[in-house]
Protein backbone atom coordinates (compact mmCIF):
# COMPACT_ATOMS: atom_id res chain seq x y z
CA UNK A 1 0.00 0.00 0.00
CA UNK A 2 1.43 3.36 -1.03
CA UNK A 3 2.04 6.19 1.43
CA UNK A 4 -0.56 8.43 -0.24
CA UNK A 5 -3.21 5.73 0.12
CA UNK A 6 -2.36 5.29 3.79
CA UNK A 7 -2.67 9.03 4.43
CA UNK A 8 -6.06 9.14 2.71
CA UNK A 9 -7.21 6.10 4.71
CA UNK A 10 -6.21 7.73 8.01
CA UNK A 11 -8.02 10.96 7.07
CA UNK A 12 -11.16 9.01 6.15
CA UNK A 13 -11.35 7.53 9.66
CA UNK A 14 -12.67 10.85 10.97
CA UNK A 15 -15.70 10.49 8.70
CA UNK A 16 -16.70 7.07 10.01
CA UNK A 17 -19.87 6.69 12.02
CA UNK A 18 -19.95 4.74 15.30
CA UNK A 19 -20.96 1.43 13.73
CA UNK A 20 -18.28 1.44 11.03
CA UNK A 21 -15.66 2.68 13.48
CA UNK A 22 -16.41 -0.30 15.74
CA UNK A 23 -16.08 -2.64 12.78
CA UNK A 24 -12.73 -1.09 11.86
CA UNK A 25 -11.48 -1.33 15.44
CA UNK A 26 -12.53 -5.00 15.62
CA UNK A 27 -10.73 -5.77 12.36
CA UNK A 28 -7.53 -4.08 13.58
CA UNK A 29 -7.62 -5.97 16.89
CA UNK A 30 -8.15 -9.24 15.04
CA UNK A 31 -5.20 -8.50 12.78
CA UNK A 32 -3.05 -7.55 15.77
CA UNK A 33 -3.81 -10.86 17.48
CA UNK A 34 -2.81 -12.79 14.33
CA UNK A 35 0.42 -10.83 14.09
CA UNK A 36 1.21 -11.44 17.75
CA UNK A 37 0.60 -15.20 17.55
CA UNK A 38 2.74 -15.36 14.40
CA UNK A 39 5.48 -13.46 16.19
CA UNK A 40 5.46 -15.98 19.07
CA UNK A 41 5.57 -18.94 16.67
CA UNK A 42 8.28 -17.42 14.47
CA UNK A 43 10.43 -16.48 17.46
CA UNK A 44 10.61 -19.71 19.42
CA UNK A 45 12.41 -19.07 22.70
CA UNK A 46 13.63 -22.64 23.15
CA UNK A 47 16.92 -21.89 21.36
CA UNK A 48 16.70 -25.09 19.29
CA UNK A 49 16.22 -25.43 15.56
CA UNK A 50 13.78 -28.04 14.30
CA UNK A 51 14.94 -30.36 11.50
CA UNK A 52 13.13 -30.78 8.21
CA UNK A 53 9.80 -32.50 9.00
CA UNK A 54 10.09 -34.62 5.84
CA UNK A 55 13.65 -36.00 5.84
CA UNK A 56 15.02 -34.88 9.21
CA UNK A 57 17.90 -32.89 7.69
CA UNK A 58 19.14 -29.77 9.45
CA UNK A 59 20.23 -28.01 6.24
CA UNK A 60 17.57 -25.63 4.96
CA UNK A 61 17.19 -22.00 4.05
CA UNK A 62 14.53 -19.36 4.45
CA UNK A 63 12.04 -19.39 1.61
CA UNK A 64 9.81 -16.37 2.09
CA UNK A 65 6.87 -15.67 4.37
CA UNK A 66 3.29 -16.82 3.87
CA UNK A 67 0.35 -16.09 6.14
CA UNK A 68 2.79 -14.32 8.50
CA UNK A 69 4.72 -17.58 9.02
CA UNK A 70 8.32 -18.15 7.97
CA UNK A 71 8.77 -20.78 5.27
CA UNK A 72 11.88 -22.87 4.60
CA UNK A 73 13.24 -25.04 1.80
CA UNK A 74 15.22 -28.16 2.61
CA UNK A 75 18.52 -28.44 0.76
CA UNK A 76 18.35 -32.25 0.85
CA UNK A 77 14.80 -33.22 -0.15
CA UNK A 78 13.99 -29.84 -1.78
CA UNK A 79 10.61 -29.68 -0.07
CA UNK A 80 9.25 -26.48 1.45
CA UNK A 81 7.66 -26.23 4.88
CA UNK A 82 6.81 -23.71 7.56
CA UNK A 83 7.34 -23.70 11.30
CA UNK A 84 4.08 -25.56 11.93
CA UNK A 85 4.54 -28.38 9.39
CA UNK A 86 4.55 -31.72 11.16
CA UNK A 87 3.25 -30.26 14.44
CA UNK A 88 -0.19 -30.67 16.03
CA UNK A 89 -0.97 -27.05 15.14
CA UNK A 90 -0.57 -27.66 11.40
CA UNK A 91 -3.63 -26.92 9.24
CA UNK A 92 -5.59 -25.29 12.07
CA UNK A 93 -7.44 -22.09 11.21
CA UNK A 94 -8.26 -18.90 13.14
CA UNK A 95 -4.70 -18.47 14.34
CA UNK A 96 -5.48 -15.14 16.00
CA UNK A 97 -7.55 -16.92 18.66
CA UNK A 98 -4.97 -19.54 19.65
CA UNK A 99 -3.47 -17.45 22.43
CA UNK A 100 -6.92 -16.85 23.89
CA UNK A 101 -7.62 -20.59 23.72
CA UNK A 102 -4.31 -21.33 25.44
CA UNK A 103 -5.52 -19.14 28.30
CA UNK A 104 -8.75 -21.17 28.38
CA UNK A 105 -6.64 -24.28 28.95
CA UNK A 106 -4.84 -22.55 31.80
CA UNK A 107 -8.19 -21.59 33.33
CA UNK A 108 -9.43 -25.18 32.94
CA UNK A 109 -12.56 -24.23 31.02
CA UNK A 110 -14.87 -26.82 29.53
CA UNK A 111 -15.14 -27.31 25.77
CA UNK A 112 -18.31 -25.25 25.48
CA UNK A 113 -17.15 -22.42 27.74
CA UNK A 114 -13.85 -22.18 25.86
CA UNK A 115 -15.75 -22.14 22.56
CA UNK A 116 -18.00 -19.32 23.76
CA UNK A 117 -15.05 -17.27 25.01
CA UNK A 118 -13.05 -17.67 21.79
CA UNK A 119 -16.02 -17.36 19.45
CA UNK A 120 -15.59 -20.75 17.78
CA UNK A 121 -17.78 -23.83 17.38
CA UNK A 122 -17.72 -26.41 20.17
CA UNK A 123 -16.30 -29.02 17.75
CA UNK A 124 -13.46 -26.63 16.92
CA UNK A 125 -12.86 -26.11 20.63
CA UNK A 126 -12.70 -29.88 21.18
CA UNK A 127 -10.27 -30.36 18.29
CA UNK A 128 -8.05 -27.50 19.49
CA UNK A 129 -7.95 -28.91 23.02
CA UNK A 130 -6.48 -32.23 22.00
CA UNK A 131 -4.16 -30.70 19.41
CA UNK A 132 -2.75 -28.34 22.04
CA UNK A 133 -2.31 -31.20 24.53
CA UNK A 134 -0.85 -33.77 22.13
CA UNK A 135 2.78 -32.79 22.73
CA UNK A 136 2.24 -32.30 26.45
CA UNK A 137 1.79 -36.05 26.78
CA UNK A 138 5.41 -36.48 25.60
CA UNK A 139 6.92 -34.13 28.18
CA UNK A 140 7.66 -36.49 31.03
CA UNK A 141 10.73 -37.06 33.20
CA UNK A 142 13.04 -39.81 32.00
CA UNK A 143 14.42 -40.40 35.48
CA UNK A 144 13.11 -40.09 39.02
CA UNK A 145 15.55 -40.02 41.90
CA UNK A 146 15.74 -40.29 45.66
CA UNK A 147 12.54 -41.19 47.48
CA UNK A 148 9.81 -42.01 44.97
CA UNK A 149 6.16 -42.40 45.87
CA UNK A 150 3.90 -44.54 43.74
CA UNK A 151 0.17 -45.15 43.74
CA UNK A 152 -2.58 -45.94 41.26
CA UNK A 153 -6.10 -44.71 40.57
CA UNK A 154 -8.82 -46.90 39.12
CA UNK A 155 -11.19 -45.47 36.52
CA UNK A 156 -14.05 -47.21 34.77
CA UNK A 157 -13.45 -47.62 31.05
CA UNK A 158 -15.44 -44.89 29.33
CA UNK A 159 -16.62 -44.83 25.71
CA UNK A 160 -18.08 -41.34 25.99
CA UNK A 161 -18.98 -40.03 22.55
CA UNK A 162 -18.86 -43.46 20.89
CA UNK A 163 -22.00 -43.95 18.81
CA UNK A 164 -21.38 -47.67 18.27
CA UNK A 165 -21.18 -49.15 21.75
CA UNK A 166 -20.47 -52.87 21.93
CA UNK A 167 -21.90 -53.17 25.44
CA UNK A 168 -24.91 -52.00 27.37
CA UNK A 169 -24.74 -48.35 28.36
CA UNK A 170 -24.29 -47.44 32.02
CA UNK A 171 -26.87 -45.00 33.31
CA UNK A 172 -24.90 -44.14 36.43
CA UNK A 173 -21.32 -44.43 37.60
CA UNK A 174 -20.07 -46.95 40.12
CA UNK A 175 -20.31 -46.11 43.82
CA UNK A 176 -16.65 -46.95 44.32
CA UNK A 177 -13.71 -48.28 42.32
CA UNK A 178 -14.02 -51.65 44.06
CA UNK A 179 -17.38 -52.17 42.35
CA UNK A 180 -15.91 -51.75 38.85
CA UNK A 181 -15.58 -55.12 37.08
CA UNK A 182 -11.97 -56.07 36.31
CA UNK A 183 -12.62 -56.08 32.55
CA UNK A 184 -13.77 -52.45 32.74
CA UNK A 185 -10.94 -51.18 34.96
CA UNK A 186 -8.40 -48.67 33.72
CA UNK A 187 -5.41 -48.10 36.02
CA UNK A 188 -3.64 -44.77 36.09
CA UNK A 189 -0.11 -44.95 37.49
CA UNK A 190 1.34 -41.96 39.36
CA UNK A 191 4.99 -41.71 40.41
CA UNK A 192 6.41 -38.63 42.14
CA UNK A 193 9.75 -37.98 43.80
CA UNK A 194 10.40 -35.47 46.57
CA UNK A 195 11.63 -32.99 43.94
CA UNK A 196 8.03 -32.82 42.63
CA UNK A 197 8.92 -34.56 39.35
CA UNK A 198 5.84 -36.50 38.32
CA UNK A 199 5.31 -39.36 35.89
CA UNK A 200 1.93 -40.79 34.98
CA UNK A 201 0.49 -43.17 32.43
CA UNK A 202 -2.37 -45.56 31.82
CA UNK A 203 -2.25 -49.36 32.02
CA UNK A 204 -5.05 -51.83 31.39
CA UNK A 205 -3.64 -54.73 33.39
CA UNK A 206 -2.05 -54.10 36.76
CA UNK A 207 0.60 -56.76 37.35
CA UNK A 208 4.27 -57.09 38.29
CA UNK A 209 5.06 -58.44 34.82
CA UNK A 210 3.65 -55.29 33.25
CA UNK A 211 5.58 -53.02 35.59
CA UNK A 212 8.95 -54.77 35.17
CA UNK A 213 10.03 -53.56 31.69
CA UNK A 214 8.53 -50.10 32.08
CA UNK A 215 9.05 -48.93 35.64
CA UNK A 216 12.75 -49.85 35.92
CA UNK A 217 14.08 -47.15 33.50
CA UNK A 218 12.56 -44.47 35.74
CA UNK A 219 14.29 -45.63 38.93
CA UNK A 220 17.86 -44.92 39.97
CA UNK A 221 20.02 -47.44 41.82
CA UNK A 222 19.76 -45.49 45.05
CA UNK A 223 16.01 -44.94 44.77
CA UNK A 224 13.61 -45.85 47.53
CA UNK A 225 10.18 -46.77 46.25
CA UNK A 226 7.38 -46.02 48.72
CA UNK A 227 3.98 -47.64 48.28
CA UNK A 228 1.21 -49.38 50.13
CA UNK A 229 1.44 -53.11 50.69
CA UNK A 230 -0.22 -54.25 47.49
CA UNK A 231 1.08 -57.61 46.28
CA UNK A 232 1.93 -56.20 42.83
CA UNK A 233 4.46 -53.75 44.29
CA UNK A 234 5.83 -56.34 46.72
CA UNK A 235 6.47 -58.82 43.96
CA UNK A 236 7.95 -56.26 41.57
CA UNK A 237 10.43 -54.80 44.08
CA UNK A 238 11.48 -58.27 45.29
CA UNK A 239 12.12 -59.64 41.79
CA UNK A 240 14.08 -56.54 40.72
CA UNK A 241 15.99 -55.98 43.96
CA UNK A 242 14.61 -52.48 44.53
CA UNK A 243 14.57 -50.83 47.94
CA UNK A 244 10.98 -50.71 49.06
CA UNK A 245 9.29 -48.70 51.79
CA UNK A 246 6.02 -50.48 52.61
CA UNK A 247 3.01 -48.92 54.29
CA UNK A 248 0.10 -50.90 55.67
CA UNK A 249 -2.80 -48.54 55.00
CA UNK A 250 -5.33 -51.04 56.37
CA UNK A 251 -3.72 -50.45 59.78
CA UNK A 252 -3.74 -46.68 59.23
CA UNK A 253 0.03 -46.65 58.84
CA UNK A 254 0.74 -43.34 57.08
CA UNK A 255 4.40 -42.67 57.97
CA UNK A 256 7.29 -45.01 58.77
CA UNK A 257 10.72 -43.91 60.03
CA UNK A 258 9.79 -40.29 59.29
CA UNK A 259 10.64 -40.64 55.57
CA UNK A 260 8.53 -43.50 54.20
CA UNK A 261 5.13 -42.16 53.19
CA UNK A 262 3.02 -41.52 50.09
CA UNK A 263 1.35 -38.33 51.27
CA UNK A 264 2.65 -36.27 48.34
CA UNK A 265 1.29 -38.57 45.66
CA UNK A 266 -2.02 -38.98 47.48
CA UNK A 267 -2.36 -35.18 47.66
CA UNK A 268 -1.53 -34.93 43.95
CA UNK A 269 -4.13 -37.56 43.08
CA UNK A 270 -6.81 -35.95 45.23
CA UNK A 271 -6.20 -32.55 43.64
CA UNK A 272 -6.35 -34.18 40.20
CA UNK A 273 -9.70 -35.82 40.98
CA UNK A 274 -11.16 -32.51 42.19
CA UNK A 275 -9.81 -30.73 39.10
CA UNK A 276 -11.35 -33.37 36.81
CA UNK A 277 -14.86 -32.98 38.24
CA UNK A 278 -15.48 -29.93 36.06
CA UNK A 279 -15.37 -32.07 32.90
CA UNK A 280 -18.11 -34.48 34.06
CA UNK A 281 -16.28 -37.58 32.87
CA UNK A 282 -13.91 -38.04 29.92
CA UNK A 283 -13.47 -40.82 27.38
CA UNK A 284 -10.70 -43.28 28.21
CA UNK A 285 -9.01 -42.69 24.84
CA UNK A 286 -8.51 -39.03 25.82
CA UNK A 287 -7.65 -39.60 29.49
CA UNK A 288 -3.88 -39.37 28.90
CA UNK A 289 -4.34 -35.82 27.58
CA UNK A 290 -6.05 -34.75 30.79
CA UNK A 291 -3.31 -36.38 32.86
CA UNK A 292 -0.73 -34.42 30.87
CA UNK A 293 -2.78 -31.24 31.09
CA UNK A 294 -2.85 -31.36 34.89
CA UNK A 295 0.82 -32.42 35.11
CA UNK A 296 1.84 -29.39 33.06
CA UNK A 297 -0.18 -27.07 35.29
CA UNK A 298 1.40 -28.60 38.39
CA UNK A 299 4.89 -28.34 36.85
CA UNK A 300 4.49 -24.55 36.66
CA UNK A 301 2.65 -24.36 39.99
CA UNK A 302 -0.47 -23.21 38.09
CA UNK A 303 1.36 -20.03 37.00
CA UNK A 304 2.05 -20.97 33.38
CA UNK A 305 1.47 -18.29 30.74
CA UNK A 306 -0.41 -18.67 27.46
CA UNK A 307 2.71 -18.11 25.36
CA UNK A 308 4.40 -21.12 26.96
CA UNK A 309 1.37 -23.33 26.28
CA UNK A 310 1.42 -22.25 22.64
CA UNK A 311 5.16 -22.89 22.20
CA UNK A 312 4.90 -26.31 23.86
CA UNK A 313 2.02 -27.25 21.56
CA UNK A 314 4.15 -26.30 18.56
CA UNK A 315 7.42 -27.95 19.59
CA UNK A 316 7.37 -31.55 20.84
CA UNK A 317 10.13 -32.74 23.12
CA UNK A 318 12.87 -34.91 21.61
CA UNK A 319 12.11 -37.80 23.92
CA UNK A 320 8.99 -39.88 24.26
CA UNK A 321 8.71 -41.92 27.44
CA UNK A 322 5.84 -44.06 26.28
CA UNK A 323 5.75 -46.39 29.27
CA UNK A 324 3.10 -48.82 30.48
CA UNK A 325 1.65 -49.33 27.00
Residues in the chain: 325
Residue-wise pLDDT tens digits, 209-261 = 888 777 888 888 889 999 998 899 999 898 888 899 999 877 888 888 888 99
Number of alpha helices (DSSP H) and beta strands (DSSP E) in the chain = 10, 8
pTM: 0.82
If you average pLDDT over every residue of the chain, what do you get? 84
**Within a 10 A sphere around the Cβ of 100, how many other Cβ atoms?**
17
Q: Which residue would you say has higher pLDDT here, 87 or 46?
A: 87
Farthest CA pair distance, the chain: 84
CA 77: distance to chain centroid? 32
Q: What kind and span of H or E run contains 290?
A: helix 287-299
Under the banding of pLDDT at 50, 70 and 90, the label for residue 197 is very high
CA 46: distance to chain centroid? 18
Strand partners, 187: 154, 203
* Distance spanning both ends of the chain, measured CA to CA: 56
- Give me the torsion for CA of 288, 293, 296, 301, rounded to 10°: -130
Residue 54 to residue 221: CA distance in whole angstroms:
39
Is the confidence at residue 148, as pLDDT, over 80? Answer: yes
Residue 130 to residue 183: CA distance in whole angstroms:
27
Residue-wise pLDDT tens digits, 79-123 = 999 888 888 998 899 998 999 999 999 999 999 999 999 999 999
Residue 236 has φ and ψ, to the nearest 5°, of -65, -50
Q: What kind and span of H or E run contains 235?
A: helix 231-239
Quote helix, strand, coil % in the chain, to nearest 5. Answer: 45, 15, 40
Residue 320 to residue 322: CA distance in whole angstroms:
6
Amino acid sequence: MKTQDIVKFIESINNLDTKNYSRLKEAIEKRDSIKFVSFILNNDYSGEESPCPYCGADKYQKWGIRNDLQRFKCEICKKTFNILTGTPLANLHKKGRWLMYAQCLIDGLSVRKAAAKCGVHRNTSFRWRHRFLKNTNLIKPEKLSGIIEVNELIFARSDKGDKNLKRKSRKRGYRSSKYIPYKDRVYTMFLRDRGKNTFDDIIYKFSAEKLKPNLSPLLSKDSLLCSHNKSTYLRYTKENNIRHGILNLSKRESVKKDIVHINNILKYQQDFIVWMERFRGVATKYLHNYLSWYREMDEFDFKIVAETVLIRAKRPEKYNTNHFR
